[in-house]
């Protein structure tokens, strides 16, 4: 019996110490998670640190044939996450990531877009002023020829605008090709007029 008691005490102490260590480790993990969540939450672009670099998590939006509940809803979009340098222009970086299109893995998962490696350089310039994102594109109309159909234009606009509207300072998007909005809207078969003022080139002359 003495031997049994002598063996039991250290086991209990070891078990107690183990419980204390686990509790401490758990608390440390919770604190770490809290700090990380605090760092990346509270704003549209979630920020954190990877290695020694500050990064921001942003979303880009693509169609996904497996997730879409209505197969003829060309404007359906679903978010995928991208990480960019936290010090960068997040609006421009989001567009650059969008215009690269889905990754090979995302394509396997059912994501689809007009955008791909061929359109990676589509962004010429973007500027946000008074809630409007003035989006100037390079002339890649041949590559994006399918974007002018009724379904294609719905997909194009939806993916671009869902990506841009995640930023609180963006409420509306006006487009141009090589600085000329009329070229873009003529390509999309949309009329410009005094009601929308889409074809005013002056905002695109500002940098």
Question: Can you spell out the DSSP letters for 91-142?
Answer: HHHHHHHHHT---HHHHHTTEE-S-SGGGTT-EEEEEEETTEEEEEE---TT
Average pLDDT over residues 99-112: 98
Between the two ends of the chain, the Cα-to-Cα distance in Å is: 87
pLDDT at position 188 over 90: yes
In this prediction, residue 6 carries a pLDDT of 38
Q: Which residues pair with 176 in a beta bridge?
A: 136
Instruction: For residue 163, give Cα distances in angstroms to 27, 84, 194.
Output: 37, 14, 27
pLDDT at 7: 37
Q: Which helix (H) or strand (E) holds 60?
A: strand 53-64
Report d(CA 200, CA 65) in Å as an integer: 37
Q: Is the pLDDT of residue 66 over 80?
A: yes
**What's the pLDDT at 46?**
64
Range 96-125 average pLDDT? 98
Question: Could you state, in order of their start, the residue ranges of all structural domains in the chain?
Answer: 1-41, 42-205
Q: Say what the pLDDT of residue 206 is.
A: 85
Higher pLDDT, 168 or 87: 168
Q: How far is CA 68 from the centre of its chain?
A: 19
pLDDT digits (tens, 9 = 90+) for 10-60: 434 443 444 444 444 444 443 333 333 333 333 455 666 555 579 999 999
Q: What are phi and psi of 76, to 5 degrees?
A: -65, 135
- Decide: 57 and 36 in contact? Cβ < 8 Å: no
Contacts of 49 by beta carbon, 8 Å cutoff, 6+ apart: 39, 55
CA distance to 53, 61, 122, 147, 183, per residue, from 178 (Å): 34, 24, 10, 17, 8
Q: What percent of the chain has pLDDT over 90?
A: 67
Q: Which of 201, 116, 198, 124 is nearest to 159 (CA)?
A: 116
């Amino acid at each position: 019996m003495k031997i049994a008691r002598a063996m039991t005490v250290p086991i209990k102490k070891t078990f107690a110490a183990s419980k204390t260590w686990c509790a401490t480790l758990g608390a440390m993990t919770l604190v770490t998670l809290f700090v990380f969540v605090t760092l990346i939450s509270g704003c549209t672009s979630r920020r954190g640190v990877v290695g020694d670099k500050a990064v921001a998590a942003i979303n880009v939006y693509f169609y996904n044939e497996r997730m879409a509940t209505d197969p003829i809803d060309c404007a359906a979009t679903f978010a995928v996450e991208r990480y960019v340098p936290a010090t960068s222009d997040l609006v421009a970086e989001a567009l650059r990531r969008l215009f690269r299109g889905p990754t090979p893995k995302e394509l396997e998962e059912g994501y689809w877009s007009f955008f791909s490696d061929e359109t990676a350089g589509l962004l010429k310039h973007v500027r946000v002023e008074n809630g409007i994102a003035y989006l100037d594109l390079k002339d890649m109309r041949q590559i994006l020829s399918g974007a002018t159909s009724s379904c294609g234009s719905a997909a194009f606009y939806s993916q671009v605008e869902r990506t841009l509207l995640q930023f609180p300072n963006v409420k509306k998007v006006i487009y141009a090709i090589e600085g000329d909005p009329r070229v873009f809207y003529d390509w999309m078969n949309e009329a410009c007029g005094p009601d929308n003022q889409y074809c005013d080139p002056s905002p695109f002359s500002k940098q």
